[in-house]
Amino acid sequence: MTSQDRTGLEVDRLTHRYGSKTALDGVSFSVEQGTFCALLGPNGAGKSTLFALLTRLFVPREGTIR
């Protein structure tokens, strides 16, 4: 199996704004199937916004989630 076959989640150049406020700016990462990862950061870093996009509570307008 190639590493691409084992990708469970791939986020590519994801950007999200609330009006003129940018919450996420070009976020890209991938998580391999069967692994765990943590999302850490200070208040206002965009963690909740990213989670809302990953769970489809928000619709991505820029970038892709696969």
Phi, psi of 5 (to 5 degrees): -65, -25
The whole-model pTM stands at 0.86
pLDDT tens readout for residues 32-51: 999 999 999 999 999 999 99
Distance CA 14, CA 49 (A): 11
The model's pLDDT over 7-38, given as tens digits with 9 standing for 90+, comes to 999 999 999 999 999 999 999 999 999 999 99
DSSP state of 3: T
Residues whose CB is less than 8 angstroms from the CB of residue 19 and which lie 6 or more positions away in sequence, other chains included: none
